[in-house]
Every structure is written in structure tokens, then in C-alpha cells.
Amino acid sequence: MTTELPTDAALAEEVETGTGGLRLDLTRRLAAEALGTGLLVMAVVGSGIAASRLSRGDVGLQLLENAAATTGALIGLILMFGAVSGAHFNPAVTLLDRALGTMSTRDTGLYVVAQVAGGCLGAVVANLMFELPAVELSTHDRSSAALWLSELVATVTLLLLIQGCVRTGRAAVVPFAVGAWIGGAYFFTSSTSFANPAVTVARTLSDTFAGIAPASAPAFVLVQLAAVGVAFALVRLFYPERAGPAAPPAPAADPRPTTDGTEPPRG
């Protein structure tokens, strides 16, 4: 799960913020991706643990609590780090940016490493916050054709939503659109919408409500990566051109007469 507040090729070097142009070095962007992905995993795993303890025996309510916490955290994290790194928190988002030519190969590889490392650390911290072993491999088997199809749908639609917002000049709504979509996808997909290779790997480290068995994770990740290719084709089909900045308005003609009584030049 997650997302970006994407930037175009120039913004890999410079991101426009509310206080003006801010030049960002790669170290800061990688730190933001690692921390953001870690906090996202903490939200997913931690809320799953809390829900299973607070609402024993009611799986539907547990899932609702898990979805609500994840949705809120995801919106906040995208707002927190969107202007720093693009707030990808998801290798699928990063790889699609690379395929679309808005990110370099070097940065793509480093982003993915930061996301996976940060996510795994987030799972460890979530376990420790609830007095569980730091690492406890999950025993939750999630392996079936229906679940793989679900992950394909979840990942493709998430990526298409992000690019659809950005390429039509609505990047500001990405945090809320992505949060709402993930919250809904918890319930309309049978896999509960992992839709994120880094989060999938990290969730193998917690034998709790949100965990996934290590043996089940590779198939999930492969399907999520395949979804990048499908999303790329759909983005090219539906949004072949990215919206650019609006052109400045033409200067208005001066209605006042000149001193010689003739009209001033127009435009």
C-alpha cells in the first residue's frame, strides 16, 4: 500500500514547496522514504495487533479498525513527506515512475532499498511496541489464485489512481484519494490490498493479524511487480500527456486613450 505525491524529472532535483524552491539531496529523500515506509508498516502491523486485542472474536471489526488506522496514517504520511521525496513508500510506485521516465535508474534502486529496509524496521518496532518478539515470522498463509488476482487488481488500481490525479493536475488531492482508496480496498479485495512489495516483505516479520507467511510473500510481490507493467500500459492509454503548469493570462489592453487621441497598441 501507498503512494506518492509524484514529481516530474526536474523535481527529482528540486521540489516546489509552500515556502519556495527547496533543493533536496538524495540522502534526505532516501531517509524520508525509509522513515515513511517504516511508519506505514508500524500503522498497518500495530493497528492490527491492537484490533485483535481490543475486538477479540470479531474479525470484521478488527479489519475495520485496521483499515481506519492505516487510512489515516497513510494520508498523514503522504502530507508529511510528499514535498521531500514524493512519498512513494512503495517500490511499485517508484518502478512505475522509472518506467514513465520521471525518475533515474540510480534513484529508483536506492528508493527501493530504502523502502524495504525502512518497512522491515517498522515491523520490528511495531512488534516491540506491543511487547512481542522483535522478529517473529508470520504463519498466516495467504496463497491462492483468488488472492493473487486480488493483489493484481489492488496494485494496478492504486497506481492508476495516483497517476490519474497527477497527470490531470490534481496532485494536491493524492493523499486523500489514496487514503480513501486503500480504506475501501481493504474490504473489496480478498487479499485486503497489500499492493506494496516493501510492505509485503516487512509483514512477514510479524506473526500477528496483518502478517503474511514468508512462503506466501514471493507470489504477492511478483504479482505486484507485474501490476506495474499493466498500470504502465493503462497510464499511457488514459493519460498520455502529463498536465503542465497553466499559461499566464495575456495582459489586458489599456482602455485609456493616448495623449494624441489614438488608441494604444493592443496586446
In a domain, 243, yes or no: no
The answer to whether residue 3 is domain-embedded is no
If you average pLDDT over every residue of the chain, what do you get? 88
Domain assignment present for residue 172? The answer is yes
Higher pLDDT, 264 or 65: 65
Residue 131, domain CATH: 1.20.1080.10
- 109-167 pLDDT per residue, tens: 999 999 999 999 999 999 999 999 999 999 999 999 999 999 999 999 999 999 999 99
Tell me, yes or no, whether 227 lies in a domain. yes
Contacts of residue 247, defined as CB under 8 A and 6 or more positions apart, other chains included, come to none
**In a domain? residue 129:** yes
- In this structure, is residue 35 part of a structural domain? yes
Q: How confident is the model at residue 254 (pLDDT cuts 50, 70, 90)?
A: low
Q: Is residue 26 part of a domain?
A: yes
218 SS3 class: helix
Residue 110 resides in a domain: yes
Q: Are 136 and 127 contacting, i.e. CB atoms less than 8 angstroms apart?
A: yes
Contact 140, 39 (CB under 8 A): no
- Helix/strand/coil for 14: strand
Alpha carbon distance 78, 114 (integer Å) = 16
Count of domains observed in the chain: 1
Task: Say how far apart CA 240 and CA 67 lie, in whole Å.
Answer: 33
Domain that holds residue 126: 9-238
